[in-house]
Structure formats: structure tokens, C-alpha cells
Structure 1
Amino acid sequence: MRRRFVIEAVLVATYGHLLVPSRPVDYVVPYSSIAELYEMRDGSEPVMDDPEDDGHVKSKINELITFFEDPLNRKKIEKAMQVPWRESSPLLLSDRIQFTVVHAVDNAHYGETFDPIETELLLTGMKLNAPLLSDQFEFQDRLIEAEVPVQIYDIEDFEFAVEEGISASDLAPFNETDRFS
């Protein structure tokens, strides 16, 4: 069974271990985070502090852009972009990795606490009942403080999330009778 995660496209390019999961995964990516890849590739700002790492990540960003621009993938994405919250058909990167692009729409529900891409990630996770993957501790902290009803995993816990994860029943409120059994 394929595990689904909502994620920013740049994180897939930045963290190489996301490209070699132990089990099949479906990365759900809001379209706005794909658009952000172009800005990162073409911008003068470094993505990484170390120049060698920056060059490597920008190369991976370019590979990901090429993947999304493939004619078949582009057609699937364009079809999804016709209706808000529509999911693309699966974009197959390998036998273990597929992407689903979502035409997420920021409705400003969390706009005061989160930036537009963060809001789209949260709303996508909530709509699809899929956990988020993030490397941003501040974002994770704000998500908890705002009591947003979405599950999140730190990038460092990716293998745990793929292998075991935390089910909805694990997150259910503590049953008072369980205390005494």
C-alpha cells in the first residue's frame, strides 16, 4: 500500500533520502510549490548555505522541473488546474514514487498564522486526510499552537512515517477507562 504525504516540491529535491523510500509513496504537492521551484532555480538567492550543496540541490530542482514539464505529466497537471482542489492523475517518477499535484486554493483560513504555501499545505492535508512532511520546526510549532487538525512528520522521521506511521486510532483522545486496565 502506498503511503501519502503532503509536501513542498523543493523538499523532495533537497532531501535525497525522500527519493529512495523503503515502501511506495505518493507525494501530494500543491501546484504553488511547483511554481516556487522555478523561482529557486532562477533566483540569485542560494537555496543552501554551502556552494557545493547549493549547486547539487539546484541541479535536483532542475531535474524535478524537467519531470513536471514532461508532456504527459504537464497534461495531467493542466487538467487538475481547471478546478480548485482537483487532484492530478498520478505522475510516476519510479516504481516506488509517484506525485499527485493538487490545485490547492488558499482560502486565508489560517492566513494570519501561516504564509500562503503553508496554508495550502495544511488545507491539502486536511482535505485529503494525509499527513504533512516538513523540515521547518517553526512551522511545526505554529501548527501545534494553532491546533490545526492535521498530522505532521519531521523530515528526519520520514522512514518511521513510511514504515509504521501513526494511525488515526493512535491519535484518538485517551479513553478514561483505559487508565485502569
Structure 2
Amino acid sequence: MRRRFVIEAVMVATYGQLLVPNHPVDYVIPYSTVMELYDMKEGAEPVMDDPEDDRHVKSKIGELIEFFQDPLNRKKIERALQVPWRESSPLILNENVSFIIMNAMDNAQFGDGFDPIETEQILTASRLQIPMLTDQLELQDRIIESEAPVQVYDIEDFEFAVEGGMAGLDWETSRDL
């Protein structure tokens, strides 16, 4: 069974283990996070603190951009961008990893508590009833505090999440405890 997660595009470039899971995974990526990759690759501001790590991650960001710009992948993405909340057809990276680009729309549903990209991630996860993956502890805390209707996993718990994590019903029950 394929597991699905909502994630920012830069997380995929930053955490190499996400590209070699033990089980098939679909990453649903809001399109706005794909667009952020261009700014991060060309921007003067470092993505990582260590200069060597920063060069490596920016190189991986460039590879991910090239993957998304592949003519077949670009065509799939462009079709998804024609209608709000449309998913692209899977962009297959390898036998265990595919990307699905979502034409998510920020509707300010969560107010000032989340920036537009965070809102798009939360809305995408809620709409598709799938968990989010993030490395941002503050975001995880804000999701819990706001009682946003999504399940969120820390990147460090990726293997647990891929193995099945907490089933939706179990998660709902444990959240009320």
C-alpha cells in the first residue's frame, strides 16, 4: 500500500532519506512550494547553516527543479494548475517515490497563525485526509494548538509514518485523550 504525505518541496531536497523509503510513498506538494525552490536555489540567503551543506542542498534543489521541468512532468503540472485544488498525475521519481503537485489555494482559514504556504499544506492535508511531514517544530506546535484537523509527523519520525504510523481513527481517538 502506498503512503501519502503532504510536504514542502524543499524538504524533499533537504532530507535525502525521503527519496529512499522502504515502502512506496506519494508526496503531495503544494505548487507554491515548488515555486519557492527557484528563490532558494538562486537566493543569497543560505538554506543550511553550514556552507558545505548549503551547497549540497542547493545542488539537490537544482536537481529537483530539473525533474519538475522535464517536459512530461511539466505538462502534468500545468494541467493541474488549470483548476484550484486539482492534483497532477503522479510524477514518478523511482519505484518507491512519486510526487503529486497540488494546485492548493490559501484561503486565510487559519488567520494570522500560519503563513500562506503553511495554510496550503494544512488545507491540502485536511482536504485529502492525509498526514503532513515537516521538520518545523514550531509549525507542529501551532497545528496542535490551533486544533487544525490534520495529522503531522516530524521528519525524524518518517520511518514510523511510512510503516503506518497512527491510523486516522486511532489518531482521532488519541487526540481526544
TM range (shorter): over 0.9
* Aligned counterparts of 1:171 and 1:131: Cα–Cα separation in 2: 11
- Unaligned 5+ segments in structure 1 are 175-181
Q: For the aligned residues, what is the CA RMSD?
A: 0.8
Q: CA deviation at 1:171?
A: 1.9
- For residue 21 of structure 1, what is the aligned residue in structure 2? 21
- For residue 47 of structure 1, what is the aligned residue in structure 2? 47
Number of matched pairs:
174
- For residue 127 of structure 1, what is the aligned residue in structure 2? 127
* Aligned counterparts of 2:3 and 2:56: Cα–Cα separation in 1: 27
Moved more, 1-10 or 164-173: 164-173
Once the two structures are superposed, the pairs formed by residues 1-150 of structure 1 within 5 Å of their partners are: 1-150=1-150
Q: CA deviation at 1:119?
A: 0.1
Q: Deviations over 1:119-162 (max 9, x none)?
A: 00000000000100000000000000000010000000000000
One-letter amino acid of the structure 1 residue matched with residue 4 of structure 2: R
Corresponding residue SS for 1:105? coil
Q: CA deviation at 1:112?
A: 1.1
Q: CA deviation at 1:169?
A: 2.0
Closer/same/farther in 2, CA of residues 172 and 144 from structure 1, 3 Å limit: closer
Q: CA deviation at 1:111?
A: 2.9
* Aligned counterparts of 1:173 and 1:167: Cα–Cα separation in 2: 10
Once the two structures are superposed, the pairs formed by residues 142-181 of structure 1 within 5 Å of their partners are: 142-173=142-173
Q: CA deviation at 1:168?
A: 1.5
Q: CA deviation at 1:29?
A: 0.1
* Aligned counterparts of 2:161 and 2:73: Cα–Cα separation in 1: 27
Q: Bigger radius of gyration, 1 or 2?
A: 1
Q: CA deviation at 1:173?
A: 3.0
Tell me the percent identity: 67
* Aligned counterparts of 2:100 and 2:77: Cα–Cα separation in 1: 9
One-letter amino acid of the structure 2 residue matched with residue 91 of structure 1: L
One-letter amino acid of the structure 2 residue matched with residue 30 of structure 1: P
* Aligned counterparts of 1:91 and 1:55: Cα–Cα separation in 2: 26
Name the TM-score, length of structure 2 as normaliser.
Answer: 0.97
- Unaligned 5+ segments in structure 2 are none
Name the TM-score, length of structure 1 as normaliser.
Answer: 0.94
